Structures are given as structure tokens and as C-alpha cells.
Amino acid sequence: MAREERPRPPVPFARRRFGQNFLTDPSAARRLVDAAALIPDDAVLEIGPGRAALTERLLDAVPRIAAVEIDRDLARALRERFDASRLMLFEDDVLRLPLADVLRALSAPRGKRLVVIGALPYNVSKPVARKLVEERADVERAMLVFQREVAERLTASHGTKDYGPLTVLVGRYYEVRSLLTLGPESFRPRPEVHSSATLWTRRDVGDEVPVSSLEACLAAVFGRRRQTILRNLRESLGDEERALALLREAGIDGALRAEAVPAERLTALARSWPHDR
């Protein structure tokens, strides 16, 4: 599909307060968009298009996309560069933008879900991950670039140092796998860390465990990582007998540390999490 692109306006400078590191490697951009496996009728949302390294290639794959950009100068440059009939731009903070509103703006048919794509500023990685959990009913899959350490937490196995609350929370609702690693040279300005691209595929799970209960449970059991899960629960609940009863019901050995417990056992614990906590 041929690009419809206007002459490029002057490129705005990166703003430190937004944590901007712009993807500049054309080969990496091509590989990332290829990994998203887009088809023409996909409803695509790009988070933080910045200088449009991914945007150009996304518009080669689908006729129209939505994008959300918080930086007003970048948003103006994007409007000058791309036709509004192809790039529907929200000048907003993605954390405040309901994903359902994006689907409506794209005139997506009933039941259609978003493909979310972006090389995320490092300072919003975890909040965006949580947003995709909260609004998972509107997401089909995602291709997201994170700081490598965040990606390692997302894909960690229990019993490893990277396994933690983010692993369990996101892993309940999405299958996440790492795709490729990007070095600092792929971005401008150069970050001090490596980045990893991750592919998220939504899982079909029941809603018997509220996200709020799972988050509260995980915060408690991982509260002090060097302590046993029983001790952490006892301190959180203020009641050892109650903690022991919950652990028995979930089939968890209280002498273990939280990182040694598989995600399904921690989810079982959250299923019985007291509503008064």
C-alpha cells in the first residue's frame, strides 16, 4: 500500500520530561511492524508516534490508524506530515484516553478490538501495562517496546529474580513473549539502557478475580521479597490465623518466598482475598 505523506516539517527536539527517546533505526522499525502481523482491517492504535519511524510503516500495512501523542509540537508535526484521513491523532496522555473511544473514532465494527503498538517512554511503561490490563476487553494484541529490564519482568518464570507482581498481573490476562532486543544506537537521544520488543496476545479468562484483588494480593505477598509469604501476609492482614487459612485454601506453602510460587497459585490466593483489605 503506497504511503500518502506530506512534506516533512522540522523535527521537534526530544523533551526530557516526557522521557522521549525516538526510534531512528529503519531496520528495527520494519522488523517491529512485521512482528505485529497486521492485516488491512486491523484497528491500530500507536502510542507515542514521536517522529513517526513506526507510523510510516504502519500506514504501509493498514489504510488508517489512530495514534496518541502527548507532546504538542510532535502532534503538530504529525498533522502537517500525514493526512487526517489516514492518521487519526489524539493529542492526549494515553493514560487518560479510553481505548473504547479510540475504537469508536476508528468506526470499528462491533466486537472489534485494538492492536496496540508503540515504543514506550520508559517512565510510562508500567502504567501503560496496567492500562492494558484494565481495558483488556478492547485489546486483541499489542507489540510494545520496553526498557529491557521491564520486558524481563513481564516474561519471567517463577523462581527467578525478575518474577514479581508485574509478571503475574499481566501474565494472567496476556501471553507475553520477547521478540528482539534493541541497543541504544537505535534511538535518539541514545538511552543508557537496552530495549526489548514484546508481543502481547490477550488470554480469554473469566472475571472471577477482580484486578483490584489481584493487585492487592500481589502487593502484600511481594511486600518484602526476602521474607516468607506467610510473614508478608501476616504483616499485611494483621492476623496469622487468617493468613494461614488463605494459604491453605490456595494450596501454598507459607514457608516459601513469593517468587517461588507459580502464578496460578497466587491467582488462587487472590480469588479468596478479603474485600476489606
CATH number of 16-202: 3.40.50.150
Q: What residue ranges do the domains of the chain occupy?
A: 16-202, 211-271
CATH architecture of structural domain 211-271? Orthogonal Bundle (1.10)
pLDDT per residue, tens digit, the chain (277 aa), is: 445 555 554 554 444 444 468 899 999 999 999 999 999 999 999 999 999 999 999 999 999 999 999 999 999 999 999 999 999 999 999 999 999 999 999 999 999 999 999 998 778 889 999 999 999 999 999 999 999 999 999 999 999 999 999 999 999 999 999 999 999 999 988 888 999 999 999 998 877 799 999 999 999 999 999 999 999 999 999 999 999 999 999 999 999 999 999 999 999 999 999 876 5
**Calpha distance 31→53 (Å, rounded):** 12
Domain 16-202 shares a fold with domain 211-271: no
Question: First vs last Cα of the chain: how many Å apart?
Answer: 53
* pLDDT number for residue 2: 47
Query: Which residues, 6+ apart, have CB-to-CB distance to 182 below 8 Å?
Result: 23, 25, 28, 145, 194, 195, 196, 197
* pLDDT number for residue 58: 97
* pLDDT number for residue 202: 96
* pLDDT number for residue 216: 96
* pLDDT number for residue 122: 77
* pLDDT number for residue 189: 82
The strand order across the sheet containing 139-147 reads 87-90, 65-68, 43-47, 114-119, 139-147, 195-202, 174-182
* pLDDT number for residue 208: 79
* pLDDT number for residue 7: 56
Element (H, E) at 202: strand 195-202
Give the count of beta carbons closer than 10 Å to the beta carbon of residue 18: 17
Q: Which three cell numbers stand for residue 111?
A: 466486537
**Calpha distance 247→268 (Å, rounded):** 9
Give the count of beta carbons closer than 10 Å to the beta carbon of residue 56: 18
CA angle (213 as vertex; 167, 145 as ends), nearest 5: 30
Q: What is the pTM of this model?
A: 0.89
- Provide the H-helix boundaries in 48-205: 53-61, 72-81, 99-105, 125-134, 148-154, 165-173
